[in-house]
């Protein structure tokens, strides 16, 4: 059973109108109708409110499992914890549960896209050089800030377009998203080719590892839209500290959903709340 069929079944079993459920979730009826018809991907906050309203688990809603009494009872004892009023959940269930289709069901937009896009080493090299060329000399921009910026550059672009610019994989680590080993391998290669230098400095009382570009980025490797997106991300996030970027990542659905040490699923950008989403809500429809 699909997510859309599940929420229709739940509403029908409860004898509720679409308006009543929409009011409970805090969205417009037109928006709720899109959820039931599969015309709009639900955000994590909406999934949470629907699950709380019907007293079932978010996992069951996402995976489209039929809502039997047994499932509902099990969901009430699920070891999930609410982070804050944005209702972000941390679960022991693997992130893949979001994308398990019922047999014969048509995949949603989120399910039809790759969890981890293919790595584009050439683009990653140019994104590094371009980003560092613009803000690498700022005192706040060390290794941790760079890692978080790359994460938001890729995941925000994916939310908008369904594509990652670099295709780099990111892991759920204690202090936020961390790039996979591919990034360090590329940095080592760029240092050997005198394209990049890495120095140890101090920022306040902390040691800081800074990356300094030794050549300009080849912008022909990036599209105009990609450059525009990177510029906007650096304008929005480039002055933030590592702690500020980590705190933002802690509220981001893809990071929240992934288990510690697990690769973060790009498709989980479709469950972002307004806190981190870069797409305007249509709840005013």
Q: Are residues 52 and 130 in the same domain?
A: no
- Asked whether residue 282 is domain-assigned, the answer is no
Q: Is the pTM of this model over 0.85?
A: no
Q: Are residues 84 and 8 in the same domain?
A: yes
CA dist 144 and 141 (Å) reads 8
Q: How far does Cα 223 stand from its chain's mean position?
A: 22
Average pLDDT of the residues of the chain: 80
Phi first, then psi: give them for residue 19, nearest 5 degrees. Answer: -65, -40
CA dist 264 and 173 (Å) reads 10
pLDDT the model gives residue 31: 87
CATH number at residue 75: 1.10.260.40
- Asked whether residue 157 is domain-assigned, the answer is yes
Range of the domain at 246: 121-271
Q: Are residues 59 and 95 in the same domain?
A: yes
- Asked whether residue 115 is domain-assigned, the answer is no
Cβ–Cβ < 8 Å for 42, 6: no
pLDDT the model gives residue 63: 60
Q: Are residues 129 and 238 in the same domain?
A: yes
Cβ–Cβ < 8 Å for 170, 109: no
Q: Are residues 172 and 235 in the same domain?
A: yes
Q: What is the pLDDT of residues 215-255, one digit of tens each?
A: 999 999 999 999 999 999 999 999 999 999 999 999 999 99
pLDDT the model gives residue 115: 63
Q: Are residues 66 and 126 in the same domain?
A: no
- Asked whether residue 138 is domain-assigned, the answer is yes
- Asked whether residue 281 is domain-assigned, the answer is no
- Asked whether residue 104 is domain-assigned, the answer is no
Q: What is the pLDDT of residues 36-68, one digit of tens each?
A: 888 888 887 788 888 888 877 776 676 654 333
* Residue ranges for the chain with pLDDT beneath 50: 65-112, 283-285
Cβ–Cβ < 8 Å for 233, 149: yes
Q: Are residues 192 and 133 in the same domain?
A: yes
pLDDT the model gives residue 201: 86
pLDDT the model gives residue 224: 97
pLDDT the model gives residue 105: 38
């Amino acid at each position: 059973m699909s997510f859309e069929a599940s929420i229709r079944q739940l509403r029908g079993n409860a004898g509720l109108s679409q308006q009543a459920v929409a009011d409970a979730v805090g969205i417009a009826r037109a928006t709720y109708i899109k959820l039931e018809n599969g015309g709009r991907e639900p955000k994590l906050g909406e999934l949470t409110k629907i699950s709380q309203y019907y007293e079932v688990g978010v996992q069951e809603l996402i995976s489209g499992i039929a809502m039997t009494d047994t499932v509902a009872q099990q969901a009430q004892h699920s070891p999930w914890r609410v982070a804050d009023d944005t209702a972000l959940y941390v679960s022991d269930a693997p992130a893949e549960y979001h994308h398990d289709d019922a047999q014969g069901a048509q995949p949603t937009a989120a399910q039809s896209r790759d969890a981890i896009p293919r790595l584009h080493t050439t683009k990653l090299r140019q994104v590094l050089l371009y980003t560092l060329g613009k803000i690498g000399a700022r005192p706040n921009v060390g290794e941790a800030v760079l890692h978080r910026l790359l994460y938001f550059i890729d995941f925000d672009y994916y939310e908008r377009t369904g594509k990652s610019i670099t295709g780099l994989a990111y892991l759920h680590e204690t202090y936020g998203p961390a790039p996979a080993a591919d990034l360090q391998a590329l940095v080592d290669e760029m240092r050997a080719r005198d394209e990049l230098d890495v120095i140890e400095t101090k920022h306040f009382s902390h040691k800081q590892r800074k990356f300094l570009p030794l050549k300009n980025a080849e912008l022909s490797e990036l599209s105009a839209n990609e450059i525009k997106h990177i510029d906007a991300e650096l304008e929005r996030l480039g002055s933030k500290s590592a702690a500020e970027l980590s705190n933002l990542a802690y509220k981001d659905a893809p990071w929240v959903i992934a288990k510690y040490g697990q690769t973060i699923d790009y498709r989980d950008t479709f469950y972002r709340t307004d806190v981190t989403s870069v797409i305007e809500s249509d709840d005013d429809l």
